[in-house]
Amino acid sequence: MEIDPFIFRLSIFILSIFIGYYVVWSVTPSLHTPLMSVTNAISSVIIVGAIIAGLAGNSGSDFTISNILGFLAISLAAVNIFGGFLVTQRMLQMYKKKKNK
Amino acid sequence: MIMSANLSAIFYLISGVLFILALRGLSSPETSRKGNFFGILGMTIAITVTFLSIESFSSGLIYVLIFLLIGGLIGAFIAYKIPMTAMPELVAGFHSLVGLSAVLVAISAFLNPEAFNLGFQGNIKLASLIEMSIGAAVGAITFSGSIIAFLKLQGIMSGSPITFRGQHLLNALILISILALTYLLCSTQSSNFFWILLAVSFLIGFLLIIPIGGADMPVVISMLNSYSGWAAAGIGFTLENSALIITGALVGSSGAILSYIMCKGMNRSFFNVILGGFGAAEQSASSGDKEHRPVKSGNAEDAAFLMKNASSVIIVPGYGMAVAQAQHALREMVDTLKKNDIKVTYAIHPVAGRMPGHMNVLLAEANVPYDEVFELEEINNDFANADVAFVIGANDVTNPAAKNDPQSPIYGMPVLDVEKCKSVLFIKRSLSPGYAGIDNDLFYKENTLMLFADAKKMTEEITKNL
């Protein structure tokens, strides 16, 4: 009997939860705010779904509701991607070590 | 140009791995910037691959790019303009966007399942339908919950908990109805159930957050962070996209761990926070008889005198520092102290501020080197040897009642041992209790000098007197 591809996706999912668990525990507490903003940015990889929705099955200039929802989702996710990564960058640049005298 | 499904799946996997490296980088400030770069690279790969695997470019492409550009510009603008003190609001706002885009993608997949290879309208594959419902429901909860969190943090909505009779019962019924609606949706494929499911999920997100008080926001924000991850994972399963599944799992567990750390910092169980209504009425009785105790209050000159004669000072910042935007004034004061060869360190409680790590970012913004800033466990033993503790905008996290009064609602919460210092300077606007509504014994101690003023003005005054 063949294994359903769903099981493979589930395996990726479960293993990633464990990776996330160990990786996040090793994040230093002083960087918890950048951690939140960067997780925000990366969870917006949901934009790949939005792009597919936006371009799905239209050949002419008539857009379906599905396409339009996709467009909206693209801009929302884009706000998050650009906003999230840039604000994280801005924060991380502020963390400086003591200057040696 | 068409990229084969297998090749694009490999690229999505690569971007998933890059996202793991992005989080890994945050284990120290030195590696963090490289980590962020990995994150950006992963995102670029994911988006590029998606474009390359679309079979036919239609007229929609130009709109996709326009919307991408609009969103990107807005995001970049916000990222450069936002003041660091507003970080909690910003993060809550961003969570709501992740939630809403998950909902929009789910609706779009429900209306046009062919485009996503999920079957046909009215006959969507069962597994996909379940995954889609989970993504949509969790996304909707994240959206409305984050909006409420945003409004509370921004001060548009009162930060005090909103509770009513039968609240928990109502919430429980709604949660059960979500499960029932998912079952009905899957067995009938009727779109009506899908819309009701969405409406009910929006409602529960709203109801779950309104009973939670302003100072519990660190837990709420972390929790919503976690939800946004699970929503993304749900959509990832629907789209059979490994980048999205990996990211969803990472973000989901990240938010869960942060919620746990925040709950532990308050010595409260997760359910206790979620059920809400903390510190509303329970405390009024025990603090009533203490109100008329004598307090020593002083001015900037007294404070400056004390600090000038100290050899080590520990600074304890809290939410009040953020509200008063006092971080720069504080750094200037510390610079002056250091010129007088006084050793200065900073002590950060895990739940100081309105989100995890809030104080650290503000201090970093004010150019405080991160190796002068310590977490509770690292620094708590040093208070006994320090001359002055300078408490600016913090309150409950210094309350000795957490250690010696089993009646106190915060009993058992880890606190900073500020009272062990030779003298304590406490900047506060008035004697009013903190969010928990608890009187702080520290105010009445022999060695405490209260400085009743705005945190920023007082700090500037002290600097002048040093």
Phi, psi for residue B164 in degrees, rounded to 5? -150, 165
Query: Is B83 near chain A, with CB under 8 Å?
Result: no
Compare CB distances from B244 to A48, A70, A96 and report the shortest one's residue: A48
- Asked if B419 and B442 touch (Cβ cutoff 8 Å), the reply is yes
Chain A neighbors of B345, CB-CB under 8 A: none
d(CA B360, CA B111): 45
CA atoms within 13 A on the CB side of B244: 26
Closest alpha carbon within chain A to B218: A33
Minimum mean pLDDT among A55-64, B5-14, B35-44: which range?
A55-64
Residue B204 near residue B192 (C-beta atoms within 8 A): no
Question: Considering only CB atoms, which chain A residues are within 8 Å of B364?
Answer: 30, 91, 94-96
Between residues 250 and 269 of chain B, which touch chain A (CB distance below 8 Å)? 250-255, 257-258, 261
Strands (E) located in B165-297: none
User: What is the band of B285 on the pLDDT scale with cuts at 50, 70, 90?
Assistant: very low
B409 touches chain A (CB under 8 A): no
CB pairs under 8 A between A and B: 384
Please, what is the Cα angle at B349 between B20 and B214, to 5 degrees? 90
Q: List, in order, residues 6 or more apart from B29 with CB less than 8 Å away.
A: A28, A30, A31, A92, A95, A97, B370
Report the C-alpha gap between B187 and B365 in whole angstroms. 54
Selecting from B43, B56, B60 the residue whose C-beta is nearest the C-beta of A63 gives: B60
**Is there a contact between A29 and B350 if contact means CB atoms under 8 Å apart?**
yes
Q: Looking at the predicted structure, is the pLDDT value of residue A35 above 50?
A: yes
Catalytic residue among B382, B387, B396, B439, which?
B396
Q: Which long-range contacts (CB under 8 A, 24 or more apart) does B405-411 make?
A: B407/B286, B408/B286, B408/B438, B409/B278, B409/B279, B409/B282, B409/B283, B409/B436, B409/B438, B410/B266, B410/B267, B410/B436, B410/B438, B411/B267
B233/A31 Cβ within 8 A: no
Indicate the range of B156-165, B251-260, B280-289, B369-378 predicted with least confidence. Answer: B280-289
Helices and strands (H and E) in chain A: how many: 4, 0
Under DSSP, is residue B426 helix (H, G, I), strand (E, B) or coil?
strand
Tokens of B1: 């140009």
Token pair, residue B106, equals 């789910």
Instruction: Tell whether the model's pLDDT for residue B212 goes beyond 90.
Output: no
Neighbours of B24 (CB within 10 A): 19
- What pLDDT shows up at residue B58? 63
The residue in chain A having the minimum alpha-carbon distance to the alpha carbon of residue B245 is A13
**Per-residue pLDDT at B375:** 92
Strand partners, B315: B346, B390
CB A54 within 8 A of CB B105: no
Region B29-35: mean pLDDT is 92
Single out the residue of B317, B142, B444, B87 nearest to residue A37, CA to CA.
Answer: B87
For residues B335 and B341, what is the distance between their CA atoms, to the nearest angstrom? 10
Spatial CA neighbour of B122 closest among B200, B201, B185? B185
**Alpha carbon of A41: minimum distance to chain B alpha carbons (Å):** 8
Across the interface, whether the CB atoms of A91 and B22 are under 8 A apart is answered no
How far is residue B390's CA from residue B442's CA, in Å, rounded to a whole number? Answer: 13
Average pLDDT of the segment spanning B308-333: 90
Does B6 reach chain A within 8 Å, measured CB to CB?
Answer: no
Confidence class of residue B280 from pLDDT cuts 50, 70 and 90? very low
pLDDT tier, B441 (very low <50, low <70, confident <90, very high otherwise): confident
Residue A101 confidence (pLDDT) = 43
Say which residue, B281 or B165, is predicted with more confidence: B165
Whole-number average pLDDT of chain B: 87
* Residue B288 pLDDT greater than 50, yes or no: no
List all residues 6 or more positions away from B346 whose beta carbon is below 8 Å from its beta carbon. Answer: B314, B315, B316, B317, B363, B368, B372, B373, B374
Is residue B313 pLDDT above 80, yes or no?
A: yes
Question: Which tokens belong to B156?
Answer: 């548009």
Give residue B192's identity as a one-letter amino acid code. N
For chain A, say whether B74 makes contact (Cβ under 8 Å).
Answer: yes
- How does residue A61 score in pLDDT terms, banded at 50, 70 and 90? low
Interface test with B, best of A11, A27, A45, A80 (most B CBs within 10 A): A45
**Chain B nearest-CA residue for A47:** B47
Distance CA B44, CA B245 (A): 17
CA distance A58 to chain B (A): 7
Write out the two tokens for B73: 């510009």
Task: Report in angstroms the alpha-carbon separations of B429 from A64, B280, B454.
Answer: 57, 21, 6
- Closest partner residue to A76 (CB to CB) among B71, B242, B357 is B71
ipTM for the whole complex: 0.94
pLDDT of residue B147: 95
CB contact under 8 Å between B369 and A97, yes or no, is yes
- Alpha-carbon gap, residue B403 to B410, rounded angstroms: 9
pLDDT, tens only, B63-116: 889 999 999 999 999 999 999 889 999 999 999 999 999 999 999 999 988 888
Cβ distance A12 to B94 less than 8 Å, yes or no, reads no
With beta carbons less than 8 A apart as the criterion, state whether B224 and B145 touch: yes
Q: Could you give the dihedral angle defined by the CA atoms of residues B23, B202, B117 and A70, in that order, rounded to the nearest 10 degrees?
A: -80
Query: Which one, of B91, B104, B43, lies nearest residue B246 by Cα?
Result: B43
Contact A92, B29 (CB under 8 A): yes
Residue A78: list chain B partners with CB under 8 A: 67-72, 74-75
- Flag if B250 and A20 touch (Cβ within 8 Å): yes
pLDDT at B289: 46
Contact B94, B149 (CB under 8 A): no
pLDDT top residue among B274 and A49: A49
Of the candidates B238, B254, B373, the beta carbon closest to that of A35 is on: B254
Can you give the pLDDT at residue A5? 85
CB of B427 closer than 8 Å to CB of B459? yes
Check A43 against B43: CB less than 8 A apart.
no
Chain B residues in contact with A84 by the CB 8 A cut-off are 75, 79, 94
Are B129 and B185 contacting, i.e. CB atoms less than 8 angstroms apart? yes
Quote the pLDDT of residue B89. Answer: 92
Cross-chain Cβ contact A91/B251 below 8 Å: no
Q: Does B75 contact A78 at a Cβ distance shorter than 8 Å?
A: yes
pLDDT of B214 higher than 50: yes
What number of CA atoms fall less than 13 Å from residue B359's CA on the CB side? Answer: 25
The per-residue pLDDT for B202 is 94
Contacts of B46 in chain A (CB under 8 A): 45, 47-48
Report pLDDT for B3. Answer: 75
Cβ distance of B257 and A45 shorter than 8 Å: no
Cα–Cα distances in Å, from B33 out to B39, B45, B177?
10, 19, 45
Distance CA B187, CA B7 (A): 35
DSSP symbol at B407: T
Give the Cα separation of B20 and B27 in Å (integer): 12
pLDDT tier at B279 (50, 70, 90 boundaries)? very low
Q: Out of B76, B102, B111, whose CB is closest to A66?
A: B111
Is B341 marked active-site?
no
| Residue range A69-98: mean pLDDT, rounded | 93
Q: How far apart are CA B321 and CA A69, in angstroms?
A: 42
